[in-house]
């Protein structure tokens, strides 16, 4: 079973690697965007799925990563990825450290609201002050480069680099999940009281997870800013925090590949309901279709997309059980 899961992930990454061979410009741009979402979703999966911390302000870290990439870039020449990327990640992680230090003192629904509040604070700072260009946002003058090796202004280079970031993030979180740190996070998710009684100071663990998560969201934000060459306050809005939460729920909480699947499913659904070819004038109201399909998927797929094979298996086994019981009663 584990081998099957690994095979699925490898096949998915191989498909992404080969995709540019068959895709046009639009396809490459679309999948780049989805891969950025997938990194973003993975960052939240570490908090929600692994540690059991429902953060409703993840967009703040995404946005700070994006704004840092733009604000730190020099006006005249192309910045180097070598320092701009780490700087963006660190900026997001630093904010996450502060937000986490304060919000992790609360629990449950209060934690959700406090993380939302901190994200809204960040949103209004860029929305209402000239710091980040206000509501208009700001442009990234020159796309980052890595010497002469890599120029992220080229869509294909950006695609490859984003895929590399996604694979590395996935591998990093995979390693983390089976390490002692990751097992401790899973223990906190399962039973924090028992973890403390056993001798784990859970607060530093949660704060570390929160900070790492913020850094990864910052990486996604950096890539998004580079892709669009533009940032605006909407990147920090609670809509995006909600959307990324929906992605991991749609994909299936508690599994890294759930974040991957969820990001793709969400983006494809969005694209589908926006398509005028399918829905004509209704395409303007794509939120409605997307919302309904998400409600339907939560009702029908309680374990998310990753749970579908198990659900089918249960259904088949359950059906044969029911038949067996029927025979006995006859």
Partner 1 sequence: MNPSDILLRGTDITRRWGGLVALNKVSLSLARGTVHAVIGTNGAGKSTLINILSGEIPPSEGQVELLGQDVTQWTQPRRARAGLGRSYQRNTIYPNFTVFENCRLAAQANHQKPWSFWASAQQCDASTSIAHAVAERAGLKDMLDRSAGLLSHGQKRQLEIAMCLATQPQVLLLDEPLAGMGAEETERMLAMLQELKTDHAILLVEHDMDAVFRIADQVTVMVNGAVIATDTPANVRTNPQVRIAYLGEH
Binding site residues, partner 1, CB under 8 A = 172, 175-176, 178-184, 186-187, 190-191, 193-194, 196-202, 205, 208
Contact 121, 238 (CB under 8 A): no
Smallest gap from residue 199 Cβ to partner 1 (A): 3
Taking a C-beta distance cutoff of 8 angstroms, is the pair 72, 79 a contact? yes
> In angstroms, what is the minimal distance from the CB of 164 to partner 1?
19
Q: Least separation, in Å, of the C-beta of 45 and partner 1?
A: 16
Q: What is the Cα–Cα distance from 9 to 306, expressed in whole angstroms?
A: 12
Q: By C-beta, is 44 or 176 nearer to partner 1?
A: 176
For residue 186, the minimal CB distance to partner 1 (Å) is: 8
Write down how long the chain is. Answer: 330
Could you give the CA distance from residue 7 to residue 133 in angstroms, rounded to a whole number?
Answer: 45
Residues 6 or more apart in contact with residue 34 via CB below 8 angstroms: 263, 264, 267
**Three-state SS across 279-321?**
HHHHHHHHHHHHHHHHHHHHHHCCCCHHHHHHHHHHHHHHHHH
User: By C-alpha distance, which of 297, 242, 245 is closest to 269?
Assistant: 297
Q: What is the CA radius of gyration of the chain?
A: 21
Q: Which is nearer to partner 1, 123 or 205 (CB)?
A: 205
Shortest reach from residue 172's CB to partner 1, in Å: 8
Distance separating alpha carbons of residues 226 and 221, to the nearest angstrom: 9
State the minimum distance, in angstroms, from the CB of residue 40 to partner 1. 21
Residue with smaller CB distance to partner 1, 167 or 186: 186
Minimum CB–partner distance for residue 204 and partner 1 (Å): 8
Nearer to partner 1 (CB atom), residue 68 or residue 209: 209
CB 240 within 8 Å of CB 62: yes
Residue with Cβ nearer partner 1 (183 or 315) = 183
Q: Which is nearer to partner 1, 46 or 259 (CB)?
A: 46
* Closest CB to partner 1 among residues 170, 205: 205
């Amino acid at each position: 079973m584990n081998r099957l899961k690994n095979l699925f992930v490898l096949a998915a990454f191989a498909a992404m690697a080969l995709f540019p061979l068959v895709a046009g410009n639009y396809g490459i741009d679309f999948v780049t965007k989805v891969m950025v979402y997938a990194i973003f979703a993975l960052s939240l999966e570490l908090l929600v799925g692994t540690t059991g911390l429902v953060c409703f302000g993840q967009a703040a870290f995404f946005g700070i990563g994006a704004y840092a990439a733009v604000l730190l870039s020099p006006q005249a020449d192309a910045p180097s990825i070598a320092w701009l990327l780490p700087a963006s990640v660190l900026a997001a992680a630093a904010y996450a450290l502060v937000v986490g230090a304060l919000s992790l003192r609360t629990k449950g629904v209060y934690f959700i609201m406090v993380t939302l509040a901190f994200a809204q604070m960040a949103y209004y700072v860029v929305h209402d002050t000239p710091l980040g260009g206000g509501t208009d946002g700001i442009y990234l003058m020159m796309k980052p480069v890595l010497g002469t090796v890599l120029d992220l202004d080229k869509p294909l280079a950006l695609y490859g680099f984003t895929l590399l970031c996604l694979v590395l993030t996935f591998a990093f979180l995979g390693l983390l999940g089976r390490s002692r740190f990751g097992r401790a996070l899973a223990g906190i998710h399962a039973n924090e009281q028992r973890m403390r009684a056993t001798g784990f100071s859970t607060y530093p663990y949660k704060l570390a997870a929160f900070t790492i998560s913020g850094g990864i969201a910052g990486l996604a934000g950096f890539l998004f800013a580079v892709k669009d060459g533009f940032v605006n306050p909407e990147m920090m809005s609670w809509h995006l925090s909600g959307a990324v939460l929906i992605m991991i729920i749609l994909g299936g909480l508690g599994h890294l590949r759930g974040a991957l699947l969820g990001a793709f499913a969400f983006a494809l659904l969005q694209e589908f309901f926006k398509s005028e070819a399918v829905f004509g004038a209704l395409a303007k109201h794509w939120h409605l279709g997307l919302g309904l399909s998400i409600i339907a998927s939560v009702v029908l797929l309680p374990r998310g997309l990753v749970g579908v094979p198990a659900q089918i298996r249960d259904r088949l086994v359950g059906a044969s059980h029911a038949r067996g019981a029927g025979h006995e009663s006859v």
